[in-house]
Amino acid sequence: ILIDEEGLDKTENNMIYVGKPLKIDEEKFFSQLDKLIQASFENGNHIKELTEEVCGTYTITDN
């Protein structure tokens, strides 16, 4: 599955697209990931909020 943020490139086959790697701040990402891992061990209620910080396309729903 590819997302628009990946900057999709078309190929000769109109059903095949190639995604470009996302540019991320690795230090920030791993810091956020550490917080998410810690929250998972604590059964933290803020896991959804932390997930939203790590993955900007994730949206919290009431379900």
For 24-56, what is each residue's pLDDT tens digit? 899 999 999 999 999 989 877 788 899 998 887
pLDDT at 27: 96
Q: State the DSSP H helix or E strand holding residue 30, giving kind and residue range, or none if neither.
A: helix 26-41
Taking the C-alpha atoms of residue 43 and residue 13, their distance in angstroms, rounded to an integer, is 46
Higher pLDDT, 28 or 17: 28
Say what the pTM is: 0.60
Look at the block and give the residue holding tokens 């059964």: 43
What is the predicted pLDDT for the residue at 30?
Answer: 95
- Beta-carbon contacts of residue 60 (< 8 Å; ≥ 6 apart): 48, 49, 52
Per-residue pLDDT, 3: 61
Q: In this structure, are residues 49 and 56 in contact, taking their beta carbons and an 8 Å threshold?
A: no
pLDDT (0 to 100) of residue 34: 95
For the chain, the C-alpha Rg in angstroms (whole number) is: 16
